[in-house]
Amino acid sequence: GERVGLGSPSAAGAAAAPSAAALSAAMGAMAAKHVNQMAFCPPNPTYRKEDVNMWLDTDRGNRIPAFHIRRGFPLTVLVSHANAEDLGLVLQYWAYMSQQLQVDVFAYEYSGYGHATGSPCEANLYSDARAALKILVDGFGLKPERDIVVFGKSLGSCPTCYLAGKHAFRGVVVCSGLASGARVLFPETRVWALDAQFFNNLGSLASCKSPTQLVHGDCDETIPFSNAQDLYAVCRAHHPLPPGWITGGSHNDIESRHRDAFLAILKEFLAHILAAGPTRVMPPSGISAVLKSVGSSVSSSAKALWSCTAPPRSQPAHDM
């Protein structure tokens, strides 16, 4: 038979390495499976369905609870929560943060979480965020570039970056965020084809022109710190203050063990954007153009403040 040498055509064919596209697809499929398993971990509901008096209907046919803490402050923080939380835990924490930061707060549930209908997935996550923004704009008359700061922790960084890539906001805060689903699993594998497959915060934040503040613990064991550095690289031109790197901070202790540093970062950023004035809206990225295809509707009781009669005592779990 033919003897195959290293330099022969047969050897070249036999030993040919997988193409870059094939390798990317294989890694992407493996990453997608594991990231989705990590990404969505709905806890048992920590609030009662009968305590919810604000419901949003999304453009993907789901119905999600929301709450609005209105105290008359000039800025409203639109909160996208982490993956092991629901609104009962978020309400307890952000009622405290509302007073500390002197902001109004609007938070919404994810499809498949708490008492929301549907199932958790990336497409529903973005649909839920669109419904939340729509009620703030159409129902409460807020102007995103003047009145709204979007905030996302961990998994919540994904709908936050998604919105920030499409609209002008007064400010954007990403806490313990991921650069992309792929870079959570493969921090040193910086392949744009992989980034684009799921949870592509890099691509979204690269399109953001709003003032942005990153916060991340440099000892984060869940979302490697390199993810924050990668995000900073794409939004640096619109990051007016130093990044909020928390020395010794892990994924779950920024709001507790490092609370003072965390609050100081947020207060400095909010003071900066209040002094700077509204964010300039560049046509055609006005909110009406962006949201005209969104078909979500809101119940007549949407302007009511939802509160739990007995807020849960447990501490929020800040996993991804």
The catalytic residues are 154, 220, 251
Decide if 226 contacts 187 (C-beta within 8 A): yes
CA 236/CA 241 separation, integer angstroms: 9
Tokens of 261: 């540093």
- What is the b/e burial string over 61-80, where b = at least 16 CB atoms within 10 angstroms of the residue's CB? ebbbbbbbbeeebebbbbbb
C-alpha separations of 306 from 55, 137, 152, 207, 237 in Å:
10, 19, 20, 34, 38
Three-state SS at 158: helix
Tokens of 24: 């990317």
Alpha helices by DSSP H, the chain: 9-14, 20-39, 87-101, 122-134, 144-147, 157-164, 181-185, 192-195, 201-206, 225-235, 259-276, 287-291
Decide if 150 contacts 172 (C-beta within 8 A): yes
Beta bridge partners of 76: 104, 148
Residues in contact with 218: Cβ distance below 8 Å, sequence separation at least 6, in sequence order: 225, 245, 246, 247, 248, 249
Three-state SS at 221: coil
User: Can you tell me which residue has the tokens 């949201």?
Assistant: 291
Three-state SS at 208: coil
